[in-house]
Amino acid sequence: MAEQVADTTLEALGYKPQFKRVLSRGDLILYGLVILTPTAPYPVYGIVQQLSHGHAVLAYLVAMVGMLFTAASYGKMSGAFPAAGSTYTYAQRALSEHVGFLAGWAMILDYFLIPLLSVVYAALTAARLVPRVPYFIWAMLFTAIITFINVRGIRMTARASRLMMVIMVASTVLFLGLAGHWVIGSNGFAGLFVPRAFFNAETFSPRSLMLGAGIATLSYIGFDAVSTLAEDTHRPERDIAVATVVVCLLQTVFCFLTVYLAALVWPDYHSFPQVETAILDIGRAIGGPWMLGWITFVLLVAGLASAMTGQAGASRLLFGMGRDGAISRRIFAYVHPRYSTPTRSIYAMGAVSLVGALFMRFQLAVELLNFGAFVGFILVNLSVIRHYYFRLRRRQGMDFVLNLIFPALGALVCGYVWMSLTAKAKLVGFGWMALGVIYLAVLTRGFRLPPRSFEL
């Protein structure tokens, strides 16, 4: 019965259901955690700890607040418009078709980079483990694997995600257990409760905290991809909202415990041998060389998991835009009759990931990922205000808070982080957006037509 309601809602938006509804709420939560990965703090912990002057734990909590407001906005909009286009669909329906196109254009940058960066990281890790095999071979192999899994259907993607999630959760639990054991062995049980690991008045600075929080948000980037699976889900009008918020909360638990215990094990953040690999040094300290090797392996698994789920979300964003004709219908709106997946969009994502992995600079890609993501986050928060507060006039009681205050705070926090990006990221990011504006102007004949006339 719930499936019929969702289909009716989708058809009311003018769309015909084309994907099989096979995902449950648990599948969505699993998908979101896999794309974020419980091990997300590993690569950036040392950087966050140094930028925040020893306040990595607090920085992650600040990042969580901004992301949680935005997650709630995604949940509300998925209930109003349960379609695969996610950010693009929400801004298109709540703000305007032209703004929706630009939101989708910004998120294309984001969704292209999530699997691309994950393939790069996985290939670099594998090349270090097996140096006889060249980096470009690993990049080609990993791209082919994740593309094959996604083409075969969202159910196969979900099954592969479960296996990878077990490995990542086991690694996180192992790290927490070893770190806790090390702290107790060194300082007794009292060593687990050190307020200075959370807040140190001598080194605290609001600016440094926000710099750290800006990097910490990388551990949350991608949670919005849950909403791209609205048309693969049994009850999208209910489950997308719950799953998105739960994913953010669970990710916060993983991040909080990891960075707190890491700070207890290695309190002097000035003494990291190499800030980018601080978590590996901490792993060696609590478990010896074998733990260092295990963490390296898990980072490889996490990279593949994030690439696979990121590619699935990106292909559905492209499908949503292609279905509306904002980009090529022939390529991106095609759904395979047997696998019920947007195979051409998936192949396009695979090609982009491979080419980018071979030629794009990793650091610039990381910075651009935040640019595209926060443009989308800001517009989704504004979409909630436009749709629920102004259009539907839901302003009484808690609706005032949920439909105005929360999304406004989400937009402000995301806007602050967005404007704190490096000048190079802004230059390339705004250049990408300028290309989108030019393309939109051509597509709509000077913004006079809706962006739905691309038939190639």
Which domains does the chain carry?
Answer: 2-10+20-443 (1.20.1740.10)
Contacts made by residues 5-12, CB under 8 angstroms, sequence distance 24+: 5/235, 5/237, 6/82, 6/233, 6/234, 6/235, 6/236, 6/237, 9/82, 9/237, 10/82, 10/83, 10/231
Instruction: Return the top range by mean pLDDT from 1-5, 173-177, 271-275, 420-424.
Output: 173-177
Tell me the residue length of the chain: 456
Query: What angle separates helix 87-94 from helix 97-129, to the nearest 10 degrees?
Result: 170
Residues 411-429, mean pLDDT to the nearest whole number:
81
Dist CA 373 CA 366 (whole Å): 11
List of residues 6+ apart from 44 with CB closer than 8 A: 215, 216, 218, 219
Q: Tell me what pLDDT residue 6 has.
A: 39
8 A C-beta contact, residue 86 and residue 224: yes
Dist CA 146 CA 345 (whole Å): 13
8 A C-beta contact, residue 305 and residue 161: yes
| 269's tokens | 């953040």
pLDDT band at 177 (very low <50, low <70, confident <90, very high): very high
Is the pLDDT at 11 greater than 70? The verdict is: no
Cα angle 180-68-373, degrees, rounded to a multiple of 5: 105
What's the sign of the alpha-carbon dihedral 46, 48, 50, 55?
negative
pLDDT band at 8 (very low <50, low <70, confident <90, very high): very low
Question: Residue 188's CB: how many other CB atoms inside 10 A?
Answer: 9
Q: Average the pLDDT over each of 14-23, 59-68, 71-80, 242-251 and give the range with the smallest value.
A: 14-23
Cross-strand bridge partners of residue 233:
23
Q: DSSP alpha helices (H): ranges in 37-153? A: 41-51, 56-80, 87-94, 97-129, 135-151
Q: What is the mean pLDDT of the chain?
A: 80
Cα angle 81-377-394, degrees, rounded to a multiple of 5: 50
Question: Residue 281's CB: how many other CB atoms inside 10 A?
Answer: 17
Q: Which amino acid is at 290?
A: W
8 A C-beta contact, residue 208 and residue 7: no
Q: Average the pLDDT over each of 372-376, 445-449, 451-455 and give the range with the smallest value.
A: 451-455
pLDDT digit string, tens, across residues 327-346: 777 777 778 777 777 788 88
Question: Residue 14's CB: how many other CB atoms inside 10 A?
Answer: 9
Q: Tell me what pLDDT residue 408 has.
A: 94
Phi-psi region at 322: left, alpha or beta (left = phi > 0; alpha = psi -120 to 50): alpha
Q: What end-to-end distance do the CA atoms of the chain give, in Å?
A: 37
Residues 263-284, mean pLDDT to the nearest whole number:
84
Q: Which amino acid is at 357?
A: A
